[in-house]
Amino acid sequence: MGNVDSNFPGEVEVPPAGVTKPPTPGPRPGSRENPVRFQGQDYWKIRNQLLRDERLFEDPNFPAGEESLGPLMKTGVEWIRATDLFRHPQFFVESISITDICQGELGDCWFLAAMSSLTLDENFFTYVVPSDQSFQKMYAGIFRFRFWQYGKWVEVVVDDRLPTKNRRLIFTSSSSRNELWSALLEKAYAKVYGSYSSLSGGNVSVAMADFTGGIAVSFNLSSTPPDFLWLLVKRALTKQTLASCAIEATSQQDLEKDNGLGLLKAHAYAITEADTVRQGTSTIKLLRLRNPWGHKEYTGPWSDRSPLWNSVSDQEKAGLKLKIKDDGEFWMPANIFCENFTGIELCSLQPLCQHSTTCVWAITSHEGKWMAGISAGGTPNEDTFWTNPQFRLTLFEKDDDAGDDKLSCTIAVDLMQKYRRQKDKTDYHYIAFYIYEVSKSKIISYTE
């Protein structure tokens, strides 16, 4: 039978005799429309079977026990199903908010900072955390989440048995105690990487990429002018970009140590907004940050309880959504930000185009290995350098003149290592790449 032409309802298009139309291809596996089922677990099939059997899901691939915790915690942990832990558990309470994320005993502030940024973009958030999940409707103890892993989207299922001590969640929780999307999202991420322990310590950009499939860029703030930094962040946040920042610690003793202004060293913060406030005839450029702990805030000029806010109208404070509350969220001036923070990370799905809202990436990925004696050629000063993996890239358009602020051909290169954060350890190798501009008779090579 032919296909119905939507322009002429009721009429059927019939192919000529002997001609068979090829089937319309579906979305490729691993695309946003067709994520790969992580470890082969199909959410819909499992849930429907559980509902028929009137049972609740117990995940055999991430069991409630020491194996899933990892070596961080071995004693005193009790895994309790959400419906047994709370009288009225909720997946969401009202709307999503960054206050839904409060760090527990696990050192995964890098992941939670990225999660805080994720809540600011409804499109990203509702894809990673599908909103059609509930503890009331069609509940079977199974929940699903989506992450980008090495070029593919994967859908991960977990049960709702959560690690507790004294009947309280020991890892991520919400300021609304019975709200559980953030705790379950953390559990799904721990499952992807092998255990909760494997999430202890990391880079915010890794989680940002896992939430978006975007490309992360890091900036050192040692010589960045505050006005440029503020404008960069302002533009980034309007272009579907997640942003975070941190203060480098120079010793083990400095880890999460207060720097004197309420800011913690070696601790990841989400940057959630860039705006301005009037002070007399001056305009102060501000950045809004959030501590994933859900408390412990900056205490300097323009902090929540700074007397400088007394000169600002209630209307302007409402526009900035200023909250005089120890909820981990605060404003600070761009110049003080640059004086204290040492680096920021941005993760975007599209370039920061000033004059266009239709920027499009054409994405190509390659996989390769450095193998000793075969394709591990070492650094450029070694004779074997040429044996490193090489990939040719041809730019079919030329950049516009240097005086033109519109570039017609721009590339971004992102290099990642697979499976280095697994089974309670993070073991990244030193890698790098080089890009060469060469004539048509040569090649462009990326090497590590």
What's the pLDDT band for 360 if we cut at 50, 70, 90?
Answer: low
Q: Shortest CA distance to 305 belongs to which of 330, 284, 287? A: 330
Q: Which residue(s) pair with 81 in the sheet?
A: 161
SS (H, E, C) 37-65: EHHHCCHHHHHHHHHHHCCCCCCCCCCCC
| 3-state secondary structure at position 103 | coil
Which pLDDT score is estimated for 176? 86
**What are the phi and psi torsion angles at 108 (to 5°)?**
-115, 40
pLDDT at 391 over 80: yes
**Please, where in the chain does CATH 3.90.70.10 lie?**
214-348
Which pLDDT score is estimated for 240? 72
Q: Shortest CA distance to 31 belongs to which of 213, 164, 166, 165? A: 213
Which pLDDT score is estimated for 408? 57
Which residue did the predictor score with more confidence, 12 or 233? 233
pLDDT at 188 over 90: yes
* 120-146 average pLDDT score: 92
Least confident of 170-184, 347-361, 406-420: 347-361
Least confident of 11-15, 37-41, 57-61, 338-342: 11-15
* 379-399 average pLDDT score: 82
Q: Look up tokens 């990326």; give the residue.
A: 446
Least confident of 93-102, 206-215, 283-292, 397-406: 397-406
Give me 345's structure tokens. Answer: 């990370």
Q: What is the Cβ-side half-sphere exposure of residue 249, based on CA atoms within 13 angstroms?
A: 14
Which residue did the predictor score with more confidence, 428 or 279? 279
Backbone region of residue 423 per phi and psi (left: phi > 0; alpha: psi in -120 to 50; beta: other values): left
| 3-state secondary structure at position 80 | strand
For residue range 85-122, list pLDDT tens digits in order. Answer: 999 999 998 777 766 788 888 888 889 888 888 887 78
| Residues marked as catalytic | 109, 267, 291
Which pLDDT score is estimated for 418? 75
Q: Which fold has domain 214-348?
A: Cathepsin B; Chain A (3.90.70)
- Amino acid sitting at position 73: M
What's the pLDDT band for 4 if we cut at 50, 70, 90?
Answer: very low
What's the pLDDT band for 153 if we cut at 50, 70, 90?
Answer: very high
State the Cα–Cα distance between residues 252 and 186, nearest whole angstrom. Answer: 26
For residue range 255-266, list pLDDT tens digits in order. Answer: 778 989 999 988
pLDDT at 141 over 60: yes
Burial call 389-398: b when 16+ CB within 10 Å, e when fewer: beeeeeeeee
Which pLDDT score is estimated for 107? 86
Which residue did the predictor score with more confidence, 13 or 46? 46
For residue range 294-349, list pLDDT tens digits in order. Answer: 888 999 999 999 999 999 999 999 999 998 988 889 999 999 999 999 989 888 76
For the chain, give the mean pLDDT.
Answer: 83
What's the pLDDT band for 292 if we cut at 50, 70, 90?
Answer: confident
For residue range 198-215, list pLDDT tens digits in order. Answer: 998 888 888 988 998 888
- Can you state the percent helix, strand and coil of the chain, rounding each to 5? 25, 20, 55
Which residue did the predictor score with more confidence, 397 or 124? 124
Indicate yes or no: pTM above 0.85: no
* 177-183 average pLDDT score: 93
Q: Taking a C-beta distance cutoff of 8 angstroms, is the pair 268, 262 a contact?
A: no
pLDDT at 239 over 80: no
State the Cα–Cα distance between residues 275 and 289, nearest whole angstrom. Answer: 12
